[in-house]
Amino acid sequence: MTYNILISDPLSEDGIYPLRQAEGFNIVIDTTNTPEELAEKIKDFDALLVRSQTQVTKEIIEKAERLKIIGRAGVGVDNIDLDAATEHGIIVVNAPDGNTNSAAEHTVAMLMALARKIPQAFNSLKNQKWDRKSFIGVELKNKTLGVVGLGRIGAEVAARAKGQRMNVIAYDPFLTEEKAKKLGVEFGTVEDVLKAADFITIHTPLLKETRHMINKEAFEIMKDGVRIINCARGGIIDEDALYDAIVEGKVAGAALDVFEEEPFVDHKLLTLPEVIATPHLGASTIEAQESVAIDVSIDVVNFFTGGTVRNPVNLPSVSKEVLAKIEPFFDLAENLGIFLSRIHNSVIEEINIHYSGELANYDVRPLTRNTVKGLLKRNLGNHVNDVNAKLLADRFGIKVNETKTTTTKGFLNLVTVEIVTQRGTRSVAGTLLNGLGPRIVKIDDYVVDFTPAGHLLFIKHHDQPGVIGRVGTMLAQENINIATMQVGRSSAGGDAIMMLTVDNHVESDQVKRIKELDYIHDVKAVDL
């Protein structure tokens, strides 16, 4: 059988070599299609390979009568309608690792150029000035590099920095002291990294929690004369705060490849001689472009020849009968994971998911993936999905265990999620109630009953008269209305919890003020 493959964005010939070499593939390269033309011709193709230019919309997918797989030569898949692809049984694959080396090398190049003022010296020489005194730099040897985000790229940068005889201190939400020792880096919190580093490099995804992570307050705790590198995502650094920190002399220099708004050509940062910048070139190498094309080409070949597809990004199909039974639990499973991720404060080492009741009779692996996705989403955002969740957990050294029992435990069905961390074990359990929908019915050893949706406040406190009243008064002062409240305690005068649903989002400064109340141990705001 011959499979027709359409390549609708420019890919290098070396990148599609695996397709050329495989038997049974008819390759058509046409990078000039309008959306209307693509919608018309897609019906004749079994696979579609794209980069970021082609928009694979729902309308195109609905006309794709033969299409079975879409390959994205790159990381992001926001130009592909994943829901439509999944609905039509089309698998989508990407290439998340193809640019790792290029991005790491670009970071190190920026680090060295920043330390030695190479771009500034070159510009001076181009202006026919032989000026050596103005461009005295600093050595990297024996300096401390702070790495915020020790994933694939961050770890590569750390390894290269050690080759320059730098000391490396790193933070990552999945990094333990044991892992840090194996990598030969010092383990620290974000604050530890910012305080200790002479150079700071950022390698985190852009999430709600990481937006403007490097802000005015962060600069204040850094060393005087610190240097900043960002080749990850624009928006992680507050660019106005960075400008002020450089002008005030707190920051000696910055090397930036990514920006909050791109193209980035008219910003006051570019007027500063201490700033060097490139136009988002982290993955712009011949090798990286070939690598991502090779990765998706191999996955396409494997898909049609019965091999393993390594980088799927949408949910594989299950039988309609099984889907009908487990689909109502999809949102509950993910929200249990999200909720649990928000109320713990340590590195996850193990995830245990237990299914009780009728669910034990079905293939619940899609629910397990959803739960793991919810747990990892806090730190990985859209980089984690239903398919790669367990793969990423394994990559971070997190064990995932799934157990089932037909015992009902008081509910027709019950999903219990437990995480094992360095600080102990935390758990949450949920079910579906007829007429009420998803409910969380247990947090650790406390029995509760609330809907996992909207704006939630989880408060741990000492069981003491007046605590609940003070929390209510504080929320009223902040103009935050309480919709529902659940309370529980281990014993009279012992540890207790409050679980509140409120009408609007609780800001971090408001959470801080609640924590300052007497007898309050911990406060977590969770939005579901």
The SS3 call for residue 440 is strand
262 in active site: yes
Write out the two tokens for 330: 């999809």
8 A C-beta contact, residue 259 and residue 230: no
Of 206, 215, 174, the residue nearest 396 (C-alpha): 174
Q: Using CB atoms within 10 Å of the CB of residue 41, give its burial: 0 to 12 exposed, 13 to 18 middle, 19+ buried.
A: middle
- Which ranges constitute the DSSP H helices of 282-388? 286-305, 320-326, 330-343, 365-380
- Strands 3-7, 437-443: pairing is unpaired
Q: What pLDDT was estimated at residue 463?
A: 93
Sheet-wide strand order for 251-256:
186-187, 167-171, 144-148, 199-202, 226-230, 251-256, 275-277
d(CA 162, CA 126): 33
233 in active site: yes
Catalytic residue among 233, 354, 369, 426: 233
CA distances from 186 to 158, 166, 174, 244, 410 (A): 11, 12, 14, 30, 47
In terms of residues, how long is the chain? 528
Query: E strands of 358-494, at which residues?
Result: 399-405, 413-421, 424-433, 437-443, 446-450, 455-462, 482-489
Q: What pLDDT was estimated at residue 479?
A: 94
Residue 61 sits at φ, ψ, to 5 deg, of: -60, -40
Catalytic residue among 116, 212, 280, 365: 280
- Which ranges constitute the DSSP H helices of 30-170? 35-41, 58-62, 82-87, 100-116, 118-126, 152-163
CA distances from 161 to 118, 185, 418 (A): 18, 10, 37
Contacts of 238 (CB under 8 A, 6+ apart): 212, 214, 215, 216
CA distances from 409 to 111, 251, 402, 416, 452 (A): 57, 58, 17, 11, 20
Q: What is the pLDDT along the chain (528 residues), one digit of tens a residue?
A: 899 999 999 998 999 999 999 999 999 999 999 999 999 999 999 999 998 889 999 999 999 999 999 999 987 787 899 888 887 879 999 998 888 999 999 999 999 999 999 999 999 999 999 999 999 999 999 999 999 999 889 999 999 999 999 999 999 999 988 889 999 999 999 999 999 999 999 999 888 889 999 999 999 999 999 999 999 999 999 999 999 999 999 999 999 999 999 888 889 999 999 999 999 999 889 999 899 999 999 999 999 998 878 888 886 556 667 878 898 999 999 999 999 999 998 899 999 999 999 999 988 988 999 999 999 999 988 778 777 788 889 889 999 999 999 887 789 999 999 999 988 999 999 999 987 899 999 999 999 999 999 999 999 999 999 999 999 999 999 999 999 999 988 888 899 999 999 999 999 999 999 999 999 999 999 999
- Stated pTM of the model: 0.78
Catalytic residue among 13, 262, 327, 507: 262
